[in-house]
Each structure stands twice: as structure tokens, then as C-alpha cells.
């Protein structure tokens, strides 16, 4: 648990510091509103149409493939850190694991799922 004290402290600083900056700015800064200041972007272009648009299904396919290989990496990480303690067979075992998923990557690639257009 003690190892996470640093993480906890970091989290605390991460929450407190931005909050302090925002609140401090609100307390100390002068408040003189005018139309230009109140516009969404003081410099830059106004948005056209809705800000939320319907996504292309292609994003979803990418996200799916990402999730699958993300999980693969998580599975391989413990194997990698234990590698020195394990023998040659562990390498073979991990290669089988990765090989099955490489077949999947090859499949996704050949089916054109990785192409944008």
C-alpha cells in the first residue's frame, strides 16, 4: 500500500493545483465583461453547424481492434517481466499466444479494416 502513497499524493496535487489556479484567477482577476470577451473563441473561427457529429463506423472498427490488442499487451506484460525466471518454453507459449493474434491482425489487414477509405 505504501507504494501508492506517492500516487495518492500525486492525485491530490493534480486535483488541488488546477482547482487553486482556477479559483485564484476567479478571486483575483478583474471582472469586466464585454461582448468580445464573452464569445466562445476570442480569436479563431466560430463553429459551423452542430458541434457533435455522428461518427463514421470506421472509428468503431479501429476502437475494437485497439481494445483487442490492448488486452493482448496486458496479457504479455506479466510474461515479459517474468521472462528471466521462465525457460525457453515460456517463449514458445507466448509465441503461440501472439501468433494466434497476429493471424487476427493479418486478417484485419487483408480485409481492409485498417484502411481509412
Partner 1 sequence: MTLEQGIFILASLLMLGSALAMVTARSMFVAALWMIGTFAGVAVLFILLNAGFLGIVQILIYIGAIAVLILFAIMLTPDVMGLKPGPRYTGQWPLAAVMASTLAAVIVLLLVRAGNDWHIADAAPNVTDFAVQLGEAFMTTYLLPFEVASGVLLVALIGALVIVRDE
Partner 2 sequence: MQINWADTSFLLAPEILLTVGALIVLVLDLLIEDDTSPVLPGFTLLALVSAFGAAAAHLVTGVDDVALFMFAADPLTHFFRLLGIGTALLVLLVSVNYVQARSKHTGEFYSLLLWVTLAVVLVAGAHDLILLYLAFEFLSITSYVLVGWLRDDARSNEGAMKYLLFGAISSALMLYGMSLLYGATGTTRLTEIAAFFTIPETQITGLYSIVVPALVFLLAGIGFKISLVPFHQWAPDAYEGAPTPVAAFLSVGSKSAGFAVLARVLLEAMPAFQEHWTSLLVVLSILTMTLGNLVALRQTNMKRLLAYSSIAQAGYILMGLAAYSAGATFPADGLSGVLIYLVAYLFTNVGVFIGAVIFEQATGSVAISDYAGLIRRSPWLAFTFVVFFLSLAGLPPTAGFVGKLAVFYATVAKGLYFLAIIGVLNSVVSVYYYFNVIRQMFFMPAPEGAERVRMPASMGLALAISFVGTLLIGFYPEPFLNLANMSRDFISALPLL
Range 47-73 burial, b when 16+ CB lie within 10 A, else e: eeeeeeeeeeeeeeeeeebeeeeeebe
Q: What dihedral do alpha carbons 37, 40, 44, 49 form, nearest 10°?
A: -150
In the complex, the smallest distance separating the C-beta of residue 116 from partner 1, rounded to whole angstroms, is 12
Helices (H), 1-117: 3-28, 35-38, 57-81, 88-110
- The smaller minimum CB distance to partner 1, of residues 4 and 10, is found at 4
Residues at the interface with partner 1 (CB under 8 A):
1, 3-4, 50, 52-55, 57-61, 63-68, 70-72, 74-75, 77-83, 85-86, 89-90, 93-94, 96-98, 100-101, 103-104, 107-108, 111, 113
The yes or no reply on residue 106 touching partner 2 (CB under 8 A) is yes
Q: Which residue has the cell 461582448?
A: 35
- The smaller minimum CB distance to partner 1, of residues 11 and 21, is found at 11
Which of the ranges 7-15, 53-61, 67-75, 100-108 carries the binding residues for partner 2, by CB under 8 A?
A: 100-108
Amino acid at each position: 500500500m505504501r507504494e501508492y502513497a506517492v500516487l495518492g499524493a500525486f492525485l491530490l496535487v493534480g486535483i488541488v493545483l488546477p482547482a487553486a489556479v482556477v479559483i485564484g484567477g476567479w478571486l483575483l482577476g478583474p471582472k469586466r465583461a464585454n461582448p468580445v470577451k464573452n464569445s466562445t473563441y476570442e480569436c479563431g473561427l466560430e463553429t459551423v453547424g452542430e458541434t457533435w457529429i455522428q461518427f463514421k463506423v470506421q472509428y468503431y472498427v479501429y476502437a475494437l481492434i485497439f481494445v483487442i490488442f490492448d488486452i493482448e499487451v496486458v496479457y504479455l506484460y506479466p510474461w515479459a517481466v517474468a521472462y528471466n525466471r521462465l525457460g525457453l518454453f515460456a517463449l514458445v507459449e507466448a509465441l503461440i499466444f501472439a501468433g494466434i493474434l497476429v493471424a487476427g491482425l493479418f486478417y484485419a489487414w487483408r480485409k481492409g479494416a485498417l484502411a481509412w477509405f
